[in-house]
Structures are given as structure tokens and as C-alpha cells.
Amino acid sequence: MAAPTTNSTYMTPGIAPRASGLEGDMKPTLLAFHGSGSNATVHTVQLARLMRVIKGHFEVESLEAPFPSQPGPGVLPFFEGCGPFKRWMQSTVTISDMKAGNSTNAMSPEVEDLVRTTVKRINSSGGKVVGLIGFSQGTKVVAGLLKGCQMRRALADKGADVTELDHLNFALGLSVCGSYPPPLIPPSVTAALEASGMSEEERKELLAKKIELPAFHVQGLQDQWKWAGQGLIDGWYEIGEGKSVVRHWEQGHLYPVKPEESEEIGDWMLGVLGLVEGQMGNQAR
């Protein structure tokens, strides 16, 4: 297929447009994280089907990773000429190291700085970042941010200083075709944990605790990387009501194609946000 010369969807690479008819009200924002060897433009196109469902309720800002990369799986030939392509980790990891769990759990400072500045810009302009969307390697970032949010709340409950973590306040996450574990933990969370005065045993327990924030996981039955995403889910997410939901759908390494699947995701997002919206202010410590 010939490379697209313009974005054929209604979205721009940076942010999805506001739907009309909301009388100026700003919709809550979801931050979107693309896969390895992709970029914000590519991810914007990939998100088009889901956006048809949620555009009336959410803004979606597609962030671009800071590190150069070769084109990732499935990017070519459709997105030929749409580079440069990026990734969220500075170095590549072998499949054997992925399966052995030898990959780093540290989010790079560049990635956290990108998230922090984006959240502060949106929130200071009257918006509100409420959730996260991740595809492929982007799901490692989503998992790390959800984990960081959960740890921030736990540290606040113990009286620790979490003023440097106020950008980590999310209600939900969507993880599509997940990547391998572990999550990428923001360095500010690691620093706050070290400075908390908690015992080594308490710190280890907090780090090991599974993510309990609401998350919707899509696993493709034909996805060759399904084992990686399943490892991230099994090792780091708590499954159950009000926590993680997992769907195994007939698809490969891509966003859901069937309209009813995108509709299920959208309904889930709205349901979660309706349940937690009144709690967000109390959790922003």
C-alpha cells in the first residue's frame, strides 16, 4: 500500500479534536503511548476506530517517545515515509531476556519529564488528565504510570512527601496488545520511596503489590507477542471487579477492528470514570 501523504483521519498527530455540542466544556483527557518503532502520527491513525466511539467524551493526546528506533512490527509498508520512528526505552532487549524477566523496570527521566510537562500543561489550562492508553511497548509505560499512581497514594497514606508526584493521578488505563514485563516505574516514585523512611521490607512489599487501578486489557488471539502481554497482565495486574478486565479477541497485533469491541471499551471507560470521578479530588494529594 502506498504511504499516506496526509493524515486521512479527523485527528492531528498531537491531539484528537473536541466534539461539537459540548458548549465549551473541556472533556477529560487520555494520554496515548505508541508502540516501539512507531510515533505519534502512526498511533493517531491506529486509534481512529476507537476514537469514533469515544471522541464525544474524551480528548486523546498522542505522545511521542524520545528515543530513535527502526520501524516496528507492522509499521511498514503502510507508514513508509512517516518517520522518524521512536521507542520508549533507550536500548533494545532480546527475546530471551524478555522471557527471563531481565529487562529494566526503570522509566527513563526523559519519558517521565514528557508525561509530567504534558499533564501540567493540560491541567493548568482547565483540562484534566484522567487516563492512559498504551499499545505494544507503550503498555509498559502505562503499567508503570498506573503503578506509580498507586504507589503515590500509598506513600501519601503513610505521611510521605509526594509533592513531586502530583502528575501521577489517573483513574484508568487501556492496554492493547501488551508488551513484556516489568512495568517502567517513574524515577520520581523510586526517589520518593527511598526518601519515605519505610523499612526495606515495606518498600519491597509496596513495589511488589499488583496494580489495582481499573485497566482494560486487549489480547489478540493471533498476536505473535501474546505471551509478552499475558506475562505483564499475570505478573503485575490484579484481575477482578473494579480492577483489571481482560478480553481475548480474534485479532493480531493491532487495535480492535470490530465496532462492538471499540464500543465495549468506550462503555467501560465511561463506567469507570463515572464511578471514580467523585474520588479523583480526594486522591490528588
pLDDT at 83: 95
**Which grid cell is 174?**
487501556
Residue 8 pLDDT: 28
Q: Quick one: residue 14, left, alpha or beta (phi over 0 = left, psi -120 to 50 = alpha)?
A: alpha
Query: What pLDDT does residue 279 have?
Result: 52
Cα 78 from Cα 76, distance rounded (Å): 5
d(CA 268, CA 280): 17
- pLDDT computed for residue 93 by the predictor: 87
Q: 202-224 burial by CB neighbour count: b if 16+ within 10 A, else e? A: ebeebeeeebebbbbbbbbeebe
Positions in the chain short of pLDDT 70:
1-24, 275-285
User: 246: burial class by Cβ within 10 Å (0-12, 13-18, 19+)?
Assistant: middle
Amino acid code (one letter) for 99: K
The pLDDT value recorded for residue 154 is 96
d(CA 248, CA 217): 8
Find, among 168, 180, 184, 188, the residue nearest to 123 by Cα. Answer: 168
Grid coordinates representing 210 are 499488583
State pTM to two decimals.
0.88
Residue 9: its pLDDT value, please? Answer: 29
Could you please state the CATH topology (level 3) that the domain comprising 29-279 is classified under: Rossmann fold (3.40.50)
For 82, the grid coordinates are 512517516
Omega cis (within 30) before 84 = yes
